[in-house]
């Protein structure tokens, strides 16, 4: 242990937007349970390159007793495959992974039950803004009830798109809005499609995405489709 500069995160100010994550070249920061966390003192070099990325001012440097910075440990961390990254809630099930790249092609010639999913995770809370599968992608933002009403969702909408899933009624809308703003700024998607259910409470998802799209000043097209409870038909 030695007294040195190390990052400090004010959890009351942190919104979990994830904008600080790409600013840490060492990978020391991750979103865990909706907030930024220092995953280990040995990964933080104490230079503070991430400080200017936080819109809430939740990051500061403090001098205190901490484990020394370990450059070799950082190199090992950065060399891990995506499936081994310590993401989000920290559980193995949230680890980011790229699935088979030919999923979209396979689903076009396969039964409706074939999966077209090309990445993991899909839950909006768990996906970091810097996820490689989001960059320049056609993004599908889907209410989490949609798959139960649309049996051919994979063939109709998931094929060829990066997927984000969430519920505007049960989850924190402000967190979603901030998270999407960070994703949109970082990923610069090619297009955004929103699938929401026809029930009124699900309209919040379209509103959140529309607001984040405007704040991020994206020029890409945004399409919102309403899914009927029975039959899974969609309308604008």
Whole-prediction pTM:
0.59
Asked if the model's pLDDT at residue 27 lies above 90, the reply is no
Q: What are phi and psi of 120, to 5 degrees?
A: -150, 140
At 96 the pLDDT is 53
Can you read off the two tokens belonging to residue 209?
């995405």
Residue 94 has pLDDT above 60, yes or no: no
Residue 130 pLDDT > 80: yes
pLDDT above 70 covers what percent of the chain? 85
Phi and psi angles of residue 156, each rounded to the nearest 5 degrees, phi first: -80, -35
Distance CA 127, CA 16 (A): 11
Burial class for 113, CB neighbours closer than 10 Å (0-12, 13-18, 19+) = exposed
Q: Is 1.10.860 the CATH classification of the domain at 97-235?
A: no
List Cβ neighbours of 200 (8 Å cut-off, separation of 6 or more). none
Strand pairing partners for 98?
A: 119
Q: pLDDT at residue 100 above 60?
A: no
Is pLDDT of 65 > 80? yes
- Distance between CA 34 and CA 101 in Å, rounded? 29
Pairing of strands 97-98, 119-120: antiparallel
Kindly report, residue by residue over 177-204, the tens digit of the pLDDT.
Answer: 999 999 999 999 999 999 999 988 899 9
What was the pLDDT predicted at 86?
47
Strand partners, 139: 162, 192
Is 1.10.10.60 the CATH number for 2-79? no
- Give the per-residue pLDDT at 89: 47
pLDDT above 90 (res 205)? yes
Residue 90 confidence class, pLDDT cut points 50, 70, 90: very low
Q: How far apart are CA 170 and CA 146, in angstroms?
A: 15
Q: Given this model, what pLDDT does residue 4 score?
A: 93
Q: What pLDDT sits at residue 91?
A: 47
Domain ranges of the chain: 2-79, 97-235
pLDDT tens digits, 38-52? 988 999 999 988 888
From residue 90, alpha-carbon distances to 95, 98, 115, 126, 164 in Å are: 8, 18, 26, 10, 19
Cα–Cα dist 61/124, whole Å: 29
């Amino acid at each position: 242990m030695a007294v040195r500069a190390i990052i400090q995160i004010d959890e009351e100010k942190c919104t979990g937007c994830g904008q600080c994550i790409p600013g840490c070249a060492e990978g020391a920061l991750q979103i865990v349970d909706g907030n930024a966390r220092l995953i280990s003192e040995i990964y933080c070099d104490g230079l503070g390159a991430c400080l200017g990325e936080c819109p809430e001012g939740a990051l500061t440097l403090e001098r205190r007793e901490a484990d020394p910075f370990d450059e070799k440990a950082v190199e090992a961390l950065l060399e891990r495959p995506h499936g081994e990254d310590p993401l989000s809630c920290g559980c193995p099930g949230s680890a980011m992974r790229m699935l088979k790249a030919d999923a979209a092609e396979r689903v076009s010639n396969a039964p409706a039950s074939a999966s077209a999913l090309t990445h993991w995770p899909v839950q909006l809370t768990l996906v970091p803004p810097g996820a490689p599968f989001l960059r320049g992608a056609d993004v599908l933002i889907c209410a989490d009830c949609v798959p139960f009403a649309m049996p051919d969702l994979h063939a109709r909408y998931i094929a060829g798109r990066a997927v984000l899933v969430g519920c505007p009624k049960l989850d924190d809308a402000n967190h979603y809005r901030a998270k999407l703003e960070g994703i949109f700024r970082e990923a610069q998607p090619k297009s955004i499609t929103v699938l929401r259910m026809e029930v009124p409470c699900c309209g919040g998802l379209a509103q959140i995405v529309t607001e984040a799209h405007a704040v991020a000043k994206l020029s890409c097209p945004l399409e919102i489709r309403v899914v009927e409870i029975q039959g899974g038909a969609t309308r604008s």
